[in-house]
Structure 1
């Protein structure tokens, strides 16, 4: 696309932002009242933006300015930076080197010699950090492409060194690699052949010993199992029969206990309907399965995302990325948040699952006609997290939003449907972006209304899939996920459950005893011991559109430092002594953890067993609010976090 075209598109979206900022006090039309529907809102928003010349016009060009296509020069820049660090072999720079190598791969034109060179460069970097299997994958990829013959001997030497580190020197696979490298080395001049022959002789003589490769953290290695004798939930696949969905006028659909549940039980292990990786992790993690990867492969069309394998790449393409690929550049360039990606992906998946726009609309009408509010979203009598119905029926809180909020969300959804219409073929062909074309198309307004609903659903139902970073000693958000069952769990500032992320899975554990018939609660970002009452209520109202009436809010429980200790309670001496013993053990445990290097073996199943048993004992004698209960709960959540997904550094 010409520079003038790109500037015109950028100016178009800049004018929308400027207009919105200039009309903060606009008296919004009544149609943005919750009394009206999302199609009315999108239709009016298109008209308003068109009236103010904030919609583009004309026929879209063949190549979008936002496509962020392959760029040979950019690939070479990243590659040169990686080469510089590789030559100097600076310590504690392995993560940066491999990221630069990966960026060079992502930017390199498909099937080009530059792509082959980039794979060879990363193979060398992976050899240095002892990721031998990943190294061999990149060698194979480089060989399949147009790898320069002048560099082939060095590439085969990298392969031989990696194989010799994995297998015995007299194994057939290593012997074959040595012979292939020798044969090519013979064609080299003496001064170039010498170093290669020397390394080969070192390998043959056994002076290069087999080396331990880097052990990758398995995100799913500690994925919890349901307890022995567990009965599967007939309505909730992947959940314990100890929970069920109920409906009430006050709480809507919610989750309750069908029996007494003890501390530490696993209530569910679920995969999301949709999971969107945080954008700052898209060069290090798989865009489909979220797994951290050092030998990832790029999308063939864009330079935006990475995949850990051909399988994930193909699945993503067939499920959503073939459409999404065309607009990710726009979302990133315009600094839109992850909500836009989630909303668009839900639309693509829902449309694809239905098979057509007509069928999707029929499905939506059938859902709305379901009078059983408890089972709304069920498919074949189950809440199936693989079905779009389970997502689109989650609460959007539309009736609780302000007209200004609905208008601004409508502008975002309109911008997104405009982008899909003009940059992709989701409506059969790329459309002109003027108001009349969009309003007259049979499905653009409908699709925009679904995007608007997705935006609202995401804002109040998504969970953060977190990962532990041992190097930093803290956790980060790896992805935002939508899991239908978890979206039905209401908030309390004293939650009864805790989530742990394990790659694509998210497990649900109990952190306090739950009585039969009692509602299951999680917490949406804040707990009573961490955030003052007034601040909690403000956040609940602004982000989730409700005033919390949980027990901590009703009784205004104090924050952690002001919580009462069991030692201050009127308890028998024998009970205090028992609790003293428990907390002494807990303090020793915390000291040991603080001295730990937090490597792959620092957290053992025994750690969790001890913490859970300590918490059970505490709950036998005291209840919240109690400083010691909160302390043990925090430690338990901290340890659970370390057993799940991790951000692994090669610079340790």
Structure 2
């Protein structure tokens, strides 16, 4: 089936959303109801992804109504200059939040020269696709005409002035160096160098004041609790929160700040021998009724790290793209731009190199179209392709089909029995929901796959040969690619995990975590996910006994939603939860008793002793919650106390009472706010 004339598609599809295109396609198909009925019949029964996608690809109506437009949003010196002019206006008005937004937009819009690239390493044999992605030189090529980066240099210079005003001295110095690197105008360079000298002097004063403040805090009897001078990371996070919440920052500089420091995720010391993202306390098992699931092989204490995994891919929420690094997903005040597009930023040069050689490989040319189409979370589908080509995917999937393991537990493991979550092998082995959907839902997914496949062709980065040169795909090439995309769509429905920046209290996107996807749901979960950028950490939130299944809540838990609400939410996962909270219809938090002792036949003296200990633990939980919301910091001792409190209340109380919930939530606050030694 030949493609429709793209010129005819432009006026019909430009700016249209996925919903609009789908509606037009269905209306056209209903003009011949018998043909439409026949198409829907072909989508029922046990069909392969190849058969399902071919049913759509071979329709003339699909090519006429579903072909998208590859929209472009080019870099522009004129736009960069205009954004910089507006930023200067806001700076003069002391609206620093808006000024920063405009200066960052100016940097992103400015034409960019070639980015230095690392050495390329390639292998002829594809063994673990995704572990060591190849790097295409095209990614790092920008506009190298003499003087082409003048607008970029001016933009960095403007932002350096704002960083100086805000006391973000490390950021200021970094921007000055970038401005000089990109040929800052000679007649203005003296101002930039003068700012650099003043900034270095202010930074030396800052460092001295912080040393003195730290020393005073250590000598203060209450120094472990009270904040002295807030850390650079805390101050930058405060400013970021104002930006995210669209608040105006008045003439109130943030004080002496340095580079934004970010906590690193914990490291698992003793790992599972086959699933290294799990600790040795975890075992992966299989049952025909629920697929793979996880068990505790030894007792697990509250706060214990159960898993740490970096996302295979993450699609982030569009509204954050001016503050969120496109690779590590950290919020950043002073981003560096992608050299090829205006829709993604990076927090530093290292993240930019990694992003350009991994996730951003395909999306750079596709993002303007993706924005118009409004795909939502399913945008992670193309992220799953990383920088792979059709040949990479086709060859590797053939290999995986030949080596399908006899034991379902080993699905996704390599020939050494290792489950590498950064390998496409692990993604390939994830469960999809194709067997539980009706023909209408499958038809919608096939339409999405059709549009994605068209965009992949237009990008000229997927249908390429071994030299990365575009070729004209055959029908079989298109259907092979479309069937892969369709399989990814089905996997996304079941396996996407939301990513939240806990310190910013902001949802940032959703990603594929092949190891964590093996953990099943419970409305009374014993584990909790939280993130460090694109790395997810899983800790126990209550004592877990050996042999107990490990669970997380897919969305909400019984304390926050009643049974009917939870079952409605879980419909999309195609199962009915049978946890203890659901079977016994436990009440939500506002309807629970404060305490509910496990053992009621106790001597009055023993009962009073338990009640006093539990109330003390609950009061401590309330205090920690208040401290976290005020101008005090949580510390390691708070974390240890909450772990003890969690053990106590779960030993003595039933889980459907308010004391248990209060202690659990305070323990979560410690996970987020305390650097916990492992």
SS in structure 2 at match of 1:356: helix
Cα deviation, residue 391, structure 1: 1.3
Q: Match for residue 143 of structure 2?
A: none
Q: Match for residue 602 of structure 1?
A: 633
Cα deviation, residue 323, structure 1: 2.4
Change (3 A) 1:518 1:476: same
Q: Within 2, Cα distance between the matches of 1:168 and 1:593? A: 35
Q: Match for residue 183 of structure 1?
A: none
Q: Within 2, Cα distance between the matches of 1:537 and 1:34? A: 27
Q: Within 2, Cα distance between the matches of 1:167 and 1:506? A: 36
1:625 equivalent in alignment to 2:664: no
SS in structure 1 at match of 2:91: helix
Q: Within 2, Cα distance between the matches of 1:68 and 1:358? A: 31
Cα deviation, residue 157, structure 1: 1.8
Q: Match for residue 109 of structure 2?
A: 107
Cα deviation, residue 133, structure 1: 1.4
Q: Which of 58, 75, 82 is residue 80 of structure 2 equivalent to?
A: 75
The answer to whether the 8 Å contact 1:32/1:41 transfers is: yes
Q: Match for residue 244 of structure 1?
A: 283
Q: Within 2, Cα distance between the matches of 1:101 and 1:533? A: 49
Cα deviation, residue 215, structure 1: 5.0
Q: Which of 292, 308, 316 is residue 277 of structure 1 equivalent to?
A: 316
Q: Match for residue 227 of structure 2?
A: none
1:578 equivalent in alignment to 2:631: no
Work out the number of aligned pairs and report it. Answer: 576
Q: How does 1:421-570 map to 2 (within 5 A)?
A: 421-428=457-464, 440-469=474-503, 475-541=505-571, 543-566=572-595, 570=600
Q: Within 2, Cα distance between the matches of 1:309 and 1:51? A: 42
SS in structure 1 at match of 2:409: coil
Q: Which of 411, 422, 446 is residue 376 of structure 1 equivalent to?
A: 411
SS in structure 2 at match of 1:446: helix
Cα deviation, residue 52, structure 1: 7.0
Q: Within 2, Cα distance between the matches of 1:317 and 1:126? A: 27
Q: Which of 150, 157, 160 is residue 123 of structure 1 equivalent to?
A: 160
Q: Match for residue 456 of structure 2?
A: 420
Q: Which of 327, 337, 358 is residue 376 of structure 2 equivalent to?
A: 337
The answer to whether the 8 Å contact 2:541/2:664 transfers is: yes
Q: How does 1:354-369 map to 2 (within 5 A)?
A: 356-366=392-402, 369=404
Change (3 A) 1:512 1:346: same
The answer to whether the 8 Å contact 2:296/2:550 transfers is: yes
SS in structure 2 at match of 1:529: coil
Unaligned runs of 5+ in 1: 58-63, 170-210, 646-652
Cα deviation, residue 119, structure 1: 0.7
Cα deviation, residue 489, structure 1: 0.4
The answer to whether the 8 Å contact 1:323/1:424 transfers is: no
Cα deviation, residue 17, structure 1: 3.2
The answer to whether the 8 Å contact 2:66/2:450 transfers is: no
SS in structure 1 at match of 2:493: helix
Q: Match for residue 267 of structure 1?
A: 306
TM (norm. structure 1) is 0.81
Cα deviation, residue 343, structure 1: 0.8
Cα deviation, residue 262, structure 1: 2.2
Q: Within 1, Cα distance between the matches of 2:281 and 2:205? A: 52
1:302 equivalent in alignment to 2:306: no
Change (3 A) 1:50 1:431: farther
Q: Within 2, Cα distance between the matches of 1:454 and 1:150? A: 54
Cα deviation, residue 567, structure 1: 5.4
Q: Within 2, Cα distance between the matches of 1:151 and 1:606? A: 53
Q: Within 1, Cα distance between the matches of 2:60 and 2:540? A: 49
Q: Within 2, Cα distance between the matches of 1:617 and 1:280? A: 43
Q: Within 2, Cα distance between the matches of 1:489 and 1:364? A: 23
Q: Match for residue 192 of structure 2?
A: 155
TM (norm. structure 2) is 0.78
Q: Match for residue 16 of structure 1?
A: 21
Cα deviation, residue 357, structure 1: 4.3
Q: Within 2, Cα distance between the matches of 1:425 and 1:12? A: 23
Cα deviation, residue 539, structure 1: 1.5
